[in-house]
Amino acid sequence: MASTIFSSVDYELVIKKSRFIACIQPVADRASAQAVVQQLWAQHPDATHICWALLAGGQSAAVDDGEPSGTAGRPMLEVLRHHDLEGVLATVVRYFGGVKLGAGGLVRASEQLHLTPQTLSGQIKQLEARIGQPLLRKAGRGLEPTDAGRLVARYAAEIFTLGDALQDALSTGHDTRRQSVLRVGIVDSVPKAVAFHVLEPAMALAAPPQLVCHEGGLTTLLAELAVHRLDLIVSDVPAPASLSVRAYTHLLGRTGIEFFAAPQLLRRSGLTIQKVRRDFPACLATLPMLLPTAASALRPRLDAWLGQHGLRPVVAAEFDDSALQKAFGREGQGVFAAPAVLSSEITHQYQVQSLGAPDDLMEEFYAISIERRITDPAVAAITAAARHTLFATPHPVAQKRTRPPAKKST
């Protein structure tokens, strides 16, 4: 059961010339807490920060007020929760003394590791020499990790977590390994079904990762990859060489493009599926088309292919979302194009028929990562399955329907 306090308690502390004035006091709600904080600013107009945490009236708050995110308000709030307090406000007024305390630095890190700063610095230099990249760089009077340093830190955290899990497993007899996380960015023009089949092999591993998928434009996703918020990008175009982002493009495979239409569309047009397939691709000039927008990697290829064959179909609609495009196609609003590797799924799910698949129209899919040589087991499974299974051979339906059926000899 939660408890509370009946009067305020103050405490003052000086650390490396910085003055900290802490107070814990009873409050009724968030509005009361905010009023107290305003009073503190009036009393301490020259203070650098006023951090606070609240548990009152079913509400909670944790405010860092300019201190490094998560280093002030959140720890204070956790202390209140640990003691099961209610109706309590904790505040800390800080006057900066000219020395950054931070949460790190070589001296602080060496103290925590019981090493001299010189020894720790030497070990970091050895690691940098081994991996061939700097891990730290100067930032003002301190240090901050480079992109490589952040990546190493993330992998190191996973290694330490796995080590702790191993120790727990040995002492308890139970495997307590935490599930790894694979953060994937999917370019919004990639068909959802293609993305699923590309990622599916990772889920079939003996120890599958937890997938966290984000959809967006390639430029946005590359920015997330650069700061290690993503592990992989699935794209229908390679990473542009002009971008100042270190990323490596791995071709997953190529697939033909197949054209589909609903039976009711053909009936309204007075056509049969046999006639359409016999006259493909010329038949496309007489049918309304549902096309991807110009932002899609497929659209320029479609336009060029149609132009090469002298086709100028009526464009009924354009779509950013390929699933929405197929939904319109299912209702007979027009012919649409899709990857041939999805042919059986599309015809079954959307109740449409394949009109044909030209030999000279292809689409490519890529995996983009920060690794030149893929070592992550999940990413390795994804790329191997895509190359050897998903995109391994031309789709049989696509080959069969590019030409009219042969006439029986008499």
Q: Please check whether residues 359 and 325 belong to one and the same domain.
A: yes
CA 246, 376, 213, 238 dihedral sign is positive
Residue 66 confidence (pLDDT) above 80:
no
Residue-level pLDDT at 64: 77
**Lookup: tokens for 92:** 């800390």
CB of 95 closer than 8 Å to CB of 48: yes
Q: With respect to residue 349, please indicate whether it lies within any of the assigned structural domains.
A: yes
Percentage of the chain with pLDDT > 90? 44
Residue-level pLDDT at 402: 39
Residue 177 confidence (pLDDT) above 70:
no
Over residues 221-237, the mean pLDDT reads 89
Q: What residues contact residue 142 under an 8 Å CB cut-off, 6+ apart?
A: 100, 102, 105
Q: Please check whether residues 358 and 316 belong to one and the same domain.
A: yes
Q: Please check whether residues 300 and 354 belong to one and the same domain.
A: yes
Q: Please check whether residues 221 and 288 belong to one and the same domain.
A: no
Phi-psi category of residue 256: left, alpha or beta, with phi > 0 → left and psi -120 to 50 → alpha: beta
Residue where a domain terminates, one of 95, 130, 149: 95
Residue where a domain terminates, one of 145, 170, 195: 170
Residue where a domain terminates, one of 216, 234, 251: 251
Q: Please check whether residues 265 and 276 belong to one and the same domain.
A: yes
Residue 324 pLDDT grade (very low, low, confident, very high; cuts 50, 70, 90): very high
Q: What three-state secondary structure class fits 103?
A: coil
pLDDT tens for residues 359-409? 999 999 999 998 888 888 999 999 999 999 999 865 443 333 434 344 433
Over residues 334-357, the mean pLDDT reads 96
More confident position, 69 or 266: 266
pLDDT tens for residues 233-290? 999 999 988 766 678 999 999 999 999 999 999 999 999 999 999 999 999 999 999 9
The mean pLDDT value of the chain amounts to 83
Domain hosting 238: range is 181-251
- CA Rg, the chain, in Å? 31
pLDDT tens for residues 95-109? 876 555 444 555 556
Over residues 205-220, the mean pLDDT reads 90
Residue-level pLDDT at 396: 41
Q: With respect to residue 3, please indicate whether it lies within any of the assigned structural domains.
A: no
Number of domains in the chain: 4
Strands 232-235 and 315-319: unpaired
Q: With respect to residue 382, please indicate whether it lies within any of the assigned structural domains.
A: no
Q: Please check whether residues 32 and 91 belong to one and the same domain.
A: yes
Q: What is the CATH number of the domain that holds 288?
A: 3.40.190.10
Residue 204 pLDDT grade (very low, low, confident, very high; cuts 50, 70, 90): very high
